[in-house]
Chains A and B, each alone.
Chain A
Amino acid sequence: MPRHRPRGDRGLERLRSFTAENHAGKLAFVAAALALFLPVPAFAHASDRGHVLLLPTGYYLVGGAFAVAVSFLVLALLPPAALDRFWRRRLALFTLGDTARTVVSLLSFAGFAVLVAAGLFGSRDPLSNPLPLVIWTLLWAGMVLAQGVLGDVWSWLNPWYGPWRVVTRLLGKDGGEGKGASPLSRPGCWPAVILFLAFAWFELVYPAPDDPARLAWAAGLYWLVSFLAMLAFGYEDWSRRGEFLTLFFAMVARFAPLGQDETGRLFLCWPGAKLLAAEPLPPSGVAFLLLALSSVSFDGLSKTFFWLGLFGINPLEFPGRTALVGIGSFGLVLTFILLAAAFLLAVLLGQRLAGVAKSGGAGLLVWSIVPIALAYHFAHYLTVLLVDGQYAIVALSDPFSLGWNLFGTADMQVEAGLVAGAASALWLWNFQAGAIILGHLLAVLVAHGLAWRLEPNPGRAALSQFPLTLLMVAYTVFGLWLLATPTAG
């Protein structure tokens, strides 16, 4: 083909393309104008939420609220010391050394590097490329829950610890984990709050969080910046104040029925029991935990007919994320402010009501949010885990779309039907609603135990919990409503 045209043709070609461009520009304008009034068939899917709409979800809302309220009354009548003793029981297991931790983390880092490369050079399809599937489904949706059940496995699996050990060794640094006095002690964990907000915005508001290449850049840069911060401020210090994943994972791991004491011995305990021994969090820590819960709540809220209706958006003709960046950003921050205000108000009111003089209650009581955050996380991401988890298993076998079959799963059929239809909707709803209600029951229990630490008088401790319990009852209803109300998509 004439790829090299005679020079004489060029002028004509340029003229042609110029007029065509003008024409195209005009057309673009016309089409944009048309988009406002042209009849637009939409295919708003009669999704599985349609089956939920036929379930008697109202009973669950009432029943859930009732269960949480009653649990408060029952706890108020129980002798706190006995309950505390019972709850603190531990079953010692065996000692687990951390010699392999560096190696495991290095392997994890290698895996991460392969995933980032896959994001840059693998398939452009977010359901075939392993990077978005691993980051959003396995890591964000799955790892949080794994931490809540198994304890802090992330301290082994994170991709920073191993490389940090190796580099500090090579640089001749002491390799200590920076547990001493820190230049960062003053900002608390505000860096992590800001970074988590950025993460949540990227996940929930940014138009293309699943785009493999963009995610590769975002995740790769985040790894690098965190790594440099760890070199500068110490691994431990940055992990507690700046690296939001490690901080959040460590917080939810405190709920797990499996733990490890200072001597390295593993033990079994009641779920949530480790929260009782937690140190009060600084204001930044309170903000962090509340932001984590509010962001997942907003993700649910942002798709509801109710929320879209507030802004005059037709949910059956959902305009796409690009058109909703402003509303989404606003909503993400608004949800956080509302939750934080309600929480602080409830704690303050409770202390007023019971005449508790001791300040700093919020820093301790905020730990009771952990079971709720875990419950929301489970309920919210359950279907994603079940379906996209399968896509992840397939994609990992062929990360670069080169026809590989590393784990023998490359041709596995993804069964989307697992979460489809009325029968699935029924059991999914029951699991989700059960998790929300159980999470709040445990939250009431944890708050009860923590309140007793703040106020040894059982009567006053219970009274101080009254407003917080009301908040938890309300949040139970809100959580169930999010799962039951009509949503877009």
Chain B
Amino acid sequence: MDKKPFDLSKSRLTRRTALKGLAAGAGLAAAPGFVRYAQAQSSAPIKIGFQSHRTGIGAAYGRWYEKTTAAAVKAINAAGGINGRPVEVVIEDDGTDPGRGAEVVGKFATQHKTDIVFGTLFSHVVIGSAPAAGEAKMPYFVVSEGHHVASTKLNRYVFQPGITDVKSQIQSMAPWIAANAGKKVTQIFPDFAFGYDHRDYLPPALKAQGADVIAQIAIPPTESSFTKYFPQIPAETEVIYHVMVGPAVLTFVKELGEFYGSNRPQLFGFIDSLEAVDINSPGLEFLDGSHFWEGSPRYAQADDSAAQKAYRAAVGIDDNGAAVGDPKDVSTAAHMFGCWETLYVVKKAMEDAGYKGPEDRAKLVEATEALTEFAEGPEHPQGPKTFNGKIHQCFGIQNISKVEGGKLKVVHKTKIEDGLYEPEGDYPKQAL
């Protein structure tokens, strides 16, 4: 593609102007007797309802999803908006709470009358909100990486076109692990749904590569000391595949280091464990030389594309993946790119559909389902993707990064094909 990266240096739009205006609009729309003449004008903004984890346990992610969304909207508007109309984002906080998530989707549909709802990360909020989106016939674009959309167990209005789902991520790690880290793998994971994805999807994928999971150690979620579990790791283990999450992760790594000393098996993890945490924190020294999955690299890489560089500059992250001007504020780089890319998918689908307003939501659903691939470039800086309209899920490349010199260095990029699997259903068969 010959598209040039964004040059926002001349744009006078600030972050606030990207997200402003929604307030007064919301107030007016709520006022009785207000006739929305503006709707008929072609210059009326496209309203995107941003279901945001502003408070609650998702707030650390929510903050970066908001920054990325603001940057993408600013870039889209600077380049002429969608179908020549400016994009306006209405933020509603869902408190990272499935109950409120459903309520917020309802508010977007009836009160703010947004064109779509977008931006949800936490899976339980997605699952809690999806029925409300279906009932309101509201296109719902999530950035969650859960397998729930692709499982086709939600509904036809729910899409995940900007980030690969976890099943695909796990599966695509297997070829590299088997070829480079070792053939005998022990998994350590938290004993609940998050861990079960890894428990269930990794063994068959490794098997197909001639490697084996030789032990699976499930750790109770409330555990804060781990040394007693380590003797369960078989001595012949070549790779420890770990996906611990929560506040005790640092303790886990520290104790694992104390258990093994300098003579350890290979370590492979998902950066979800340490998203938004400085990799050089005390206690994490043991991770030096180990490998992590990353959706999009936290650290700037020597071979970053112009699009990747422009994306990082637009969102405001430095070479270490922290906020420009606030080096301790480490971003959720591995996931937040999904907000940027999803908004460009929405733009493409709306333009394909000739989208005019909420009455065209069904057309937007069909236009999104008709999408098949997204080329790497300014709109998709993380990399190329394919999209499966049957399961409303995109598939992209994944990064495997090595902790080296206090940074994460990408040592392998997977192929899209590594993460493909048989569709589990067919959303377009559902009535609109």
Contact = CB atoms under 8 A, between A and B. Distances in A.
Do most interface residues of chain B lie in helix, strand or loop, or is the interface mixed?
mixed
Interface string A116-142: 000011111111110000000000000
Given A35-B128, A486-B248, A43 B193 contact: no
Nearest to B147: A39
Contact of A207 (B16, B58, B100, B128): B100
A309 to B, nearest CB: 5
B283 interface: yes
Interface stretch (A87-95, A146-154, A314-322): A314-322
Contact of A122 (B23, B121, B327): B23
A410 interface: yes
A417 B328 contact: yes
A44 interface: yes
B380 interface: no
Given A124-B22, A316-B194, A402-B23, A422 B281 contact: yes
A199 interface: no
Contacts of A46: 245-247, 249-250, 273-277
A198 B364 CA distance: 45
A321 B103 CA distance: 13
A460 B125 CA distance: 59
B414 interface: no
A226 B144 CA distance: 45
A208 B100 contact: yes
A43 B122 contact: yes
A39 B200 contact: yes
Interface string B96-110: 111110000000000
A163 interface: no
B52 A125 contact: yes
Interface in A388-428: 398, 400-403, 410-411, 413, 415-418, 420-424
A126 to B, nearest CB: 5
Contacts of B23: 121-124, 129, 400-402
Interface stretch (B85-93, B202-210, B383-391): B85-93
B155 A27 contact: yes
Nearest to B154: A31
A74 interface: no
A44 B95 contact: no
A321 B144 CA distance: 20
Interface stretch (B129-137, B229-237, B296-304): B129-137
Contact of A314 (B92, B100, B192): B192
A210 B95 contact: yes
A82 interface: no
A174 B121 CA distance: 59
B254 interface: yes
Given A39-B197, A50-B277, A121 B222 contact: no
A386 to B, nearest CB: 12
Contact of A54 (B17, B282, B325, B356): B282
Contacts of B84: none
A34 interface: yes
Contact of A23 (B16, B275, B276, B431): B431
B66 to A, nearest CB: 8
B357 interface: yes
B123 interface: yes
Contact of A28 (B61, B131, B222, B250): B131
- With a 10 A CB-CB cut-off, give which of B124, B196, B357 has the most chain A CB atoms: B124
Nearest to B197: A39
Contacts of A418: 326, 328
A54 B93 CA distance: 32
Interface in B269-294: 272-278, 281-283
Contact of B193 (A40, A129, A401): A40
A41 B135 contact: no
B359 interface: yes
A123 B153 CA distance: 34
| Shortest beta-carbon contacts, A-B, top 5 | A322-B99, A320-B97, A417-B328, A28-B131, A489-B57
A25 interface: yes
A20 interface: yes
Contacts of B59: 489
Contact of A488 (B52, B57, B254): B57
